[in-house]
Structure 1
Amino acid sequence: MSDTSPGPDEVRRVADLARVGLDDDEVERFTDQFADILDYFETLDEVPAVDREADLANVMRADEVRESLDQSEALANAPETEDGYFKGPNVS
């Protein structure tokens, strides 16, 4: 465990900020869990950085202007239209 493990006072403060009521048993349990989580972060800090250039490539196609459907063709298969637009169900 690290030297900066959170104590019960820090857990109560975080619980108050989150507007979560904790009893003494929960404070004790969360204190242990917070300490474990902080230990995991310390372990991640020990992972060496990778020094390499990323081989990046643009996988998107180039934009190109093409002929599109006119309004009547676009609405031809729509189950329901209104005033030249697609009509969908009302959302409540």
Structure 2
Amino acid sequence: MALKTTDIEYIAHLARLAIDAEAVPHYVRDLSRILEFVEQMNKVDTTGIEPMAHPLEAIQRLRPDEVTEIDQREIFQATAPQIEAGVYLVPKVID
């Protein structure tokens, strides 16, 4: 798929990117090559191939979900300037 200069300018506008006029031909060439590569990959027959989340047959070892530390909320909040109902109160920064 060959892109045109107007396509690149439209994409840049949608992405809110400022592109120099001298760089547009380079983007046309490079993005066209990327899209041609994607088209080439789409032509590969993948019937019977199951999608993978990872290329290795690895299983993630998970640890048991157990409490390993004691609750120290009161200790941590003892030095806080303001707390209420167990949460830190902070100044409002956005109206």
Kindly name which structure, 1 or 2, has the bigger radius of gyration based on alpha carbons: 1
Q: In structure 1, which of residues 23, 26, 47 is the aligned counterpart of residue 23 of structure 2? A: 26
Shift in Å, 1:8: 0.9
1:62 is displaced (CA, Å) by 4.1
- Percent identical pairs in the alignment equals 17
Show structure 2 runs of 5+ residues with no match: 52-56, 80-95
Show structure 1 runs of 5+ residues with no match: 72-82, 88-92
**What is the CA RMSD across the aligned residues, in angstroms?**
3.8
Q: 1:44 and 1:8 mapped to 2: Cα distance?
A: 25
Q: Counterparts of 1:1-92 in structure 2 under 5 Å?
A: 4-17=1-14, 18-23=16-21, 25-45=22-42, 46=44, 48-49=46-47, 50-51=49-50, 59-64=61-66, 69=70, 71=72, 84-85=75-76
Structure with bigger helix share is: 1
Deviation at 1:19, TM superposition (A): 3.4
Cα distance change, pair 36–47 in 1 and its aligned pair in 2 (3 A)? farther
| Aligned residue pairs, count | 73
Deviations, residues 37-82 of structure 1 (Å, cap 9, x unaligned): 1011112212525148xx896732444577x5465xxxxxxxxxxx
